[in-house]
Amino acid sequence: MPRRRPGRPRRGDERPTRELVLAAATALFAEHGFDAVGLRDVAAAAGVDVATVAHHTGTKAELYDACFARVFAAEREVLEVAGERARQALAAGRADALRTLHDLVDVFVDFLEDRPETTALWLRRWLEPHRHADLDQRYAAPLYALVEELLATAAEGGALVEPTPHVTVRSLVWAVHGHVVALAAGSGSGARERREFRGFVHRFLDGLYPPASP
């Protein structure tokens, strides 16, 4: 049987080599954390040699950063589309503002349910809050700011009252990550957990922004 040439991914996977490396590294960092993963581990998981990993991503620290950049780009793509829809609906009043916020949160929940490694990757990072803190500024803060701006715009237009949008966004983000962890734990029915969590987060928003007093 001929040996696989160094640097070439295993047969049957047509993804670009860099994407294979980043997908493998993301899964490993999410499961084990930064310190426990080496470039050789990533190379073995991706089916390439260590030189190929270094060629495509550089040092381990640069590879770690690239993993966060990868999940950030995917998340930003879906949230910016949903955010633009929300922006157009916010001026129509409280009912439309709440409906569009429901939709925006659903998009975020869908994204993380489909990509649980994103939650695991961030949770590993947050276990050491003062280490790699610059990742938050580059790959979390811009998305938080997007939603905070929407809430502030709705408040300015009189559709709802929101004095601390940054607290609301942070609370929602942590709630969704907790939901993804519960799904990963596999206790109970996944379908029921998904259904009940959607109901909760919608009720949370409805309760957070009740109708104005007459």
Each residue of 135-171: pLDDT tens digit?
999 999 999 999 999 999 888 888 889 999 999 999 9
Check if the beta carbon of residue 191 is closer than 8 Å to that of residue 123: no
pTM for this entry = 0.87
- Name residue 147's amino acid: V
The CATH number that applies at residue 32 is 1.10.10.60
Residues 113 and 180 in one domain: yes
pLDDT tens, residue by residue, 10-63: 555 557 999 999 999 999 999 999 999 999 999 999 999 999 999 999 999 999
Residues 81 and 151 in one domain: yes
178 closest CA partner among 151, 166, 196, 162: 196
Residues 49 and 153 in one domain: no
pLDDT tens, residue by residue, 90-99: 767 788 888 9
Is residue 187 scored above 80 in pLDDT? Answer: no
- Sign of the C-alpha dihedral, residues 8, 14, 18, 20? negative
Residues 126 and 49 in one domain: no
Half-sphere exposure of 67 (CA within 13 A, CB side): 30
